[in-house]
């Protein structure tokens, strides 16, 4: 969401107006959170929207009068208005759509999925913090998320995939960013968490979670070099491909690692605790660390420190690899090295194990820095099947290394049927099942929308 100065446009009877805090149109109390009631009279044919709940709305030949109330503590007051047609759908949370030209079919699509996504995220995180959520069509192309409404451009809202990509992202911001506020001085965690639980989760529900994560990692490899990298604590907002790759992508992967480490149940419990403890308060990465540590039953400070307060990422290389025949089988040892500058990361690296003459592989977890770990097998190890992985170097360039897809083997029968870790692509299924009931008009979409989504812009 861009800064307030970027949101300001001069009022126009034909186009409309946006009034953010930076215009100082209301008394400003030195950055403190406020509750408010605002009453607005506007020209005939105009609708005016703010956060909170609409308590009264009257229209006559001279124009309209509206009153919005927000008992929820807000960081600033937004007011947008223009010549708009209103559509509504009643429910526990009122769904609203304000379009610049009448289009009941388009409005119905947005009204329908609004309640479905809110229900999904209430089950996942906790109660929706506002009385309504509104789609407001803007008179220039934007992707803004305000508390209880979003301001999207005319072309954007008519792209068929937006209903199941950018739109749920903006809805989710009412929990992360506009429900729990960001302590920007300690880093913006909100965009990465929202991307993980909206864009990535929907991809996962479509069976494309691994593809989405791989795309995030590829952006980091492509755009982030020395001089452009920074710790997550320094991320404030997106202003380049590199800042997006760090602030959105790396943060997204942090939450995926936490989810894999804790499991779905504890991961969701941590999210719910974080939301419950900090709703309408400012929070930072330290607050997230405490919530996840409480859910895990152990201190996760070191895990957060290495990924949040440190720039960069691990660079891995396969070192010495040996296979030694013994009386009862083979002893195999592999050394996985970290070659980035600075101290080694504490990593849990899954390794795929194959045996000569057998199909498939066994996967085993291992926590390595620069030491080797032996494995024994009763059969001769299979050949090393390598794939290229591009890793950042300490000098900011990149190197291409050969990383064995199939490494070493466990003793036959140990972990074959139920390996402890099923690999990077094997994310737990429970979290993604939350949205299964949204139907073909929501998360699943149709195949044409899925194909178009891959080509469309990202807000």
For the chain, the domains span 4-152, 181-312, 316-404
Instruction: Give the C-alpha distances (Å, rounded to integers) separating 248 from 200, 305, 402.
Output: 11, 18, 28
Please choose, from the candidates 449, 456, 425, 340, the residue with its C-alpha nearest in 3D space to the C-alpha of residue 113: 449
21 vs 218 pLDDT, higher one: 218
Q: CA-to-CA distance for 311 and 247, rounded, in angstroms?
A: 11
| Residues 31-55 pLDDT 10s | 789 999 999 999 999 999 999 999 9
| Residues 6 or more apart in contact with residue 355 via CB below 8 angstroms | 377, 379, 380, 381, 382, 409, 412
Choice among 187-196, 297-306, 369-378 with the minimum mean pLDDT: 369-378
Report the pLDDT averaged over residues 165-186. 96
Q: CA-to-CA distance for 316 and 208, rounded, in angstroms?
A: 25
* CB 125 within 8 Å of CB 275: yes
Q: 10 Å Cβ neighbour count for 186? A: 18
**Taking the CA of residue 331 as centre, how many other CA atoms within 13 Å lie in the half-sphere pointing to its CB?**
8
Residue 259, classed as helix, strand or coil, is: helix
Report the pLDDT averaged over residues 411-424. 27
Q: What is the pLDDT of residue 415?
A: 31
β-sheet with 9-12: strand ranges across:
9-12, 16-19, 79-83, 46-50
Q: What is the pLDDT of residue 448?
A: 33
Q: What is the pLDDT of residue 363?
A: 63
Q: Could you say which DSSP state residue 438 is in?
A: G
Q: What is the pLDDT of residue 105?
A: 97
Query: How buried is 373 (Cβ within 10 angstroms: 0-12 exposed, 13-18 middle, 19+ buried)?
Result: middle
Angle 156-434-188 from CA coordinates, rounded to 5°? 55
| Residues 8-24 pLDDT 10s | 445 555 677 777 667 77
Q: What is the pLDDT of residue 432?
A: 54
pLDDT band for position 431 (cuts 50, 70, 90): low
Q: What is the pLDDT of residue 21?
A: 67
Q: 10 Å Cβ neighbour count for 139? A: 19
* CB 32 within 8 Å of CB 98: no
Report the pLDDT averaged over residues 154-169. 93
Q: What percent of the chain has pLDDT over 90?
A: 58
Instruction: Give the C-alpha distances (Å, rounded to integers) separating 87 from 103, 114, 140, 269.
Output: 9, 13, 21, 36
Q: What is the pLDDT of residue 315?
A: 86
Q: What percent of the chain has pLDDT over 70?
A: 73
Residue 337 has pLDDT above 60, yes or no: yes
Q: CA-to-CA distance for 227 and 396, rounded, in angstroms?
A: 8
Contacts 24+ apart (CB under 8 A), 365-373: 365/420, 365/421, 366/336, 368/336, 369/338, 369/344, 369/345, 370/319, 370/335, 370/337, 370/338, 370/344, 371/335, 372/319, 372/320, 372/333, 372/334, 372/335, 373/333, 373/334
75 vs 369 pLDDT, higher one: 75
122 vs 340 pLDDT, higher one: 122
Tell me the average pLDDT of the chain. Answer: 78
Fold of the CATH domain 181-312: Neutral Protease; domain 2 (1.10.390)
Instruction: Give the C-alpha distances (Å, rounded to integers) separating 366 from 108, 150, 348, 369.
Output: 51, 45, 6, 10
Q: What is the pLDDT of residue 188?
A: 98
Report the pLDDT averaged over residues 89-93. 95
Choice among 49-63, 83-97, 307-321 with the minimum mean pLDDT: 307-321
Q: What is the pLDDT of residue 280?
A: 97
């Amino acid at each position: 969401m861009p800064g307030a100065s970027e949101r300001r446009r001069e009022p126009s009877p034909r186009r409309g107006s946006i009034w953010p805090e930076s215009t100082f149109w209301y008394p400003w109390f030195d950055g403190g959170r406020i509750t408010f009631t605002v009453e607005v009279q506007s020209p005939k044919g105009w609708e005016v929207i703010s956060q909170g709940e609409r308590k009264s709305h009257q229209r006559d030949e001279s124009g309209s009068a509206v009153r919005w109330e927000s008992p929820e503590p807000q960081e600033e007051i937004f007011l947008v208005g223009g010549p708009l047609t209103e559509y509504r759908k009643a429910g526990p949370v009122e769904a609203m759509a304000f379009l610049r030209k009448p289009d009941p079919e388009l409005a119905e699509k947005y009204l329908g999925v609004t309640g479905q996504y809110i229900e999904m995220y209430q089950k996942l995180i906790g109660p929706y913090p506002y009385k309504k959520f509104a789609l407001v069509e803007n008179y220039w192309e934007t992707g803004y998320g305000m508390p209880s409404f979003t301001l999207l451009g005319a072309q954007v809202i008519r792209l068929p995939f937006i209903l199941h990509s950018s739109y749920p992202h903006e809805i989710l911001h009412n929990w992360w960013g506009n429900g729990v506020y960001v302590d920007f001085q300690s880093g913006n965690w909100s965009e990465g968490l929202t991307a993980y639980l909206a864009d990535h989760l929907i991809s996962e529900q479509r069976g494309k979670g691994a593809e989405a994560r791989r795309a995030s990692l590829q952006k980091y490899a492509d755009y982030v070099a020395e001089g452009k990298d920074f710790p997550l604590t320094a991320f404030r907002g997106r202003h380049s491909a590199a800042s997006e790759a760090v602030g959105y992508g790396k943060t997204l992967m942090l939450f995926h690692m936490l989810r894999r480490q804790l499991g779905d149940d504890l991961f969701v419990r941590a999210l719910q605790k974080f939301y419950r403890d900090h709703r309408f308060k400012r929070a930072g990465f330290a607050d997230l660390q405490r919530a996840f540590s409480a859910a895990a039953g152990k201190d996760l400070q070191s895990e957060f420190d290495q990924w949040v307060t440190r720039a960069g990422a691990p660079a891995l290389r396969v070192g010495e690899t040996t296979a030694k025949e013994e009386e009862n089988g083979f002893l195999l040892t592999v050394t996985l090295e970290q070659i980035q500058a600075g101290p080694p990361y504490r990593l849990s690296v899954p390794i795929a194990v194959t045996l000569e003459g057998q199909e498939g592989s066994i996967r085993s977890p291992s926590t390595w820095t620069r030491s080797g770990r032996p494995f024994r097998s009763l059969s001769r190890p299979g050949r090393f099947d390598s794939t290229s992985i591009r890793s950042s170097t300490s000098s900011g360039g990149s190197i291409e290394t050969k990383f064995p897809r199939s490494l070493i083997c466990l003793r036959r029968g140990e972990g074959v049927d139920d390996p402890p870790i099923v690999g990077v692509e094997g994310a737990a299924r429970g979290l993604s099942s939350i949205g299964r009931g949204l139907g073909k008009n929501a998360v699943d979409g149709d195949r044409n929308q899925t194909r178009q989504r891959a080509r469309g812009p990202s807000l």
